[in-house]
């Protein structure tokens, strides 16, 4: 079994615990647990002074994923929880390393190579925090991550209860012959090897992290670019909640649009539908940026279902905008046809026309304006012809 050891004991510059500081929608401690999970850890041990909401939330999350979690006040139970045949992975309190760098260091044939990651003695982190990045020899410090055999961990029982377990385990690992792995200056840059030393440093790292993870804004589709910008600003307040709120609001607005159009208010219905589509774009942005931040595969099925549902409801709104309930006008089929053509064109590549076709918010708001001035049928007819021409021209080029 692979066991991970993290801690929430050391304080940042403002006195709050490093592990409890928020980073892009979740705590530093949760980021560390996610890294351990990516390394195949099945049991997570967390050293704490007292139980907190962050620890309880992390326990519930990990146990929901099938992992074992133990919050320990002291290290006396560690030897009993780490068997001789286990591997123990240790992360420095408050360290948030890039999973790609850690995978490169510890990626052995079986997926986990035992090693002690080291940093040069003159590295800024080692120089600024010698009590965290302990000196190993004259030229190197511990870099904050190690993986060792479980057997030597049993020696921890011989140390006094007031000893600092992680430095002790580092020494035990080195004495047991665990090889060292020197990290280069390129691997130890702040973007990939970050210590949560203060809220200010964390805020700077969060901004850089979100900027790298956020999809580029393409102003050929204004509403998509605006949704992307909104997501980048809102991510620190909560990724999962933001996506759920945006998705739920999107569906509610779409239903309002359907009702308004069905009862003879086409402009209002189309405006509500446009805002509903914008909500789905924001929800999709939260999903995409969350997946990139957490280095997971995006939940494409959920996003595709939401986008498809929103487009179906947009087609219904357009139908009722042309033929309010219970009227029947054959021309009303033009609304769903326009939405269908826009979907087909949007999936046809990364051309300017395809990008513009993805911007259903602007399309619906334009149609709302047309409905307000009584030109909705003519506008839809022109859009249908334009979308069809763009598809035919693209097919001819292929």
According to the model, what pLDDT value does residue 361 have? 93
CB under 8 Å to 351, separation ≥6 — which residues?
394
Indicate whether 199 pLDDT > 70: yes
Rank 21-25, 108-112, 147-151, 302-306 by mean pLDDT and report only the highest: 147-151
Confidence band (pLDDT; 50, 70, 90) for 296?
A: low
* Helix then strand then coil, % of the chain, to nearest 5: 55, 15, 30
Q: Is the pLDDT of residue 54 over 60?
A: yes
* 290 has pLDDT over 80: no
Residue 82 sits at φ, ψ, to 5 deg, of -120, 110
E strands present in the chain: 2-8, 22-23, 26-27, 43-48, 68-72, 87-91, 95-97, 115-120, 135-137, 140-149, 180-182, 193-195
Share of the chain above pLDDT 70, in %: 93
* Residue the block writes with tokens 């021309």: 331
Task: Quick: pLDDT tens for 143-156.
Answer: 999 999 999 999 99
CA neighbor of 8 nearest in space, from 82, 125, 94, 90: 94
pLDDT at 350 over 80: no
**From 68-82, 193-207, 361-375, the region with the lowest mean pLDDT:** 193-207
Distance CA 315, CA 254 (A): 10
Look at residue 215 in the predicted model and tell me its pLDDT. 67
Looking only at the bridges linking them, the beta strands covering 193-195 and 43-48 are unpaired
CA 43 to chain CA centroid, Å, is 23
Give the pLDDT score at 225.
83
Which pLDDT score is estimated for 108? 60
Is the model's pTM score more than 0.75? no
Section 239-264 average pLDDT: 88
pLDDT band for position 7 (50/70/90)?
Answer: very high
Give how far Cα 172 sits from Cα of 105, 146, 149, 157, Å.
20, 11, 10, 12
Judging by DSSP bridges, how do beta strands 193-195 and 95-97 pair with one another? antiparallel
Token duo for residue 128 = 């600024």
pLDDT band at 110, cuts 50/70/90?
low
Checking if the pLDDT of 240 tops 60, the result is no
Query: Does the pLDDT at position 275 exceed 90?
Result: yes
Per-residue pLDDT of 352-387, as tens digits, reads 788 888 889 999 999 999 999 999 999 999 999 999
pLDDT reported for residue 243 = 79
Q: For residue 29, what pLDDT is reported?
A: 94
* Calpha distance 211→231 (Å, rounded): 11
Torsion on CA atoms 32, 35, 37, 41, rounded to nearest 10: -80
Instruction: Say which residue, 354 or 292, is predicted with more confidence.
Output: 354
The rounded distance, in Å, linking the Cα atoms of 291 and 9 is 29
CB contact set of 250 (below 8 Å; sequence gap of 6+): 276, 277, 278, 279, 280, 282, 283, 306, 310
397 confidence band (pLDDT: 50, 70, 90)? low
Q: Residue 317 has what pLDDT? A: 95
Alpha-carbon Rg for the chain, nearest whole angstrom, is 27
pLDDT at 287 over 90: no
């Amino acid at each position: 079994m692979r066991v991970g050891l993290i801690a929430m004991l050391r304080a940042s510059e403002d006195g709050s615990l490093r592990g409890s500081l928020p980073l892009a929608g979740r705590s530093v401690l949760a980021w560390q647990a996610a890294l351990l999970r990516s390394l195949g850890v099945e049991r997570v041990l967390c050293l704490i002074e007292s139980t907190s909401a962050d620890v309880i939330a992390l326990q519930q999350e990990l146990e929901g994923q099938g992992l074992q979690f133990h919050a320990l006040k002291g290290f006396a139970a560690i030897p009993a929880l780490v068997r001789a045949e286990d591997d123990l992975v240790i992360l420095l309190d408050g360290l948030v390393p890039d999973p790609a760098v850690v995978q490169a260091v510890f990626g052995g044939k079986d997926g986990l190579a035992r090693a002690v990651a080291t940093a040069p003695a003159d590295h800024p982190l080692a120089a600024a925090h010698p009590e965290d990045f302990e000196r190993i020899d004259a030229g190197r410090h511990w870099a904050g991550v190690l993986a060792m055999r479980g057997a030597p961990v049993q020696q921890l029982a011989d140390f006094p209860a007031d000893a600092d377990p992680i430095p002790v385990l580092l020494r035990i690992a080195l004495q047991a012959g665990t090889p060292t792995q020197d990290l280069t200056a390129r691997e130890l840059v702040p973007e990939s090897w970050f210590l949560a030393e203060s809220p200010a440093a964390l805020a700077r790292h969060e901004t850089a992290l979100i900027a790298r993870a956020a999809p580029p804004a393409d102003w050929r589709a204004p509403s998509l670019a605006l949704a992307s910008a909104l997501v980048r600003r809102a991510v620190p307040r909560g990724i999962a909640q933001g996506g759920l709120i945006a998705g739920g609001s999107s569906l509610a607005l779409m239903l309002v649009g359907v009702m308004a159009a069905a009862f003879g208010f086409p402009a209002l219905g189309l405006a509500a539908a446009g805002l509903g589509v914008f909500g789905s774009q924001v929800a999709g942005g939260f999903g995409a940026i969350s997946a990139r931040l957490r280095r997971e595969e995006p939940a494409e099925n959920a996003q595709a279902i939401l986008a498809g549902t929103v487009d179906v409801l947009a087609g219904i709104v357009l139908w009722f905008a042309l033929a309010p309930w219970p009227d029947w006008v054959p021309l009303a089929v033009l609304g769903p046809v326009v939405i269908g053509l826009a979907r087909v064109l949007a999936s046809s590549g990364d051309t300017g026309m395809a990008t513009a076709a993805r911007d259903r918010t602007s399309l619906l708001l334009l149609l709302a304006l047309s409905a307000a001035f009584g030109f909705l049928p003519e506008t839809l007819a022109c859009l249908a012809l334009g979308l069809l021409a763009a598809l035919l021209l693209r097919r001819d080029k292929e």
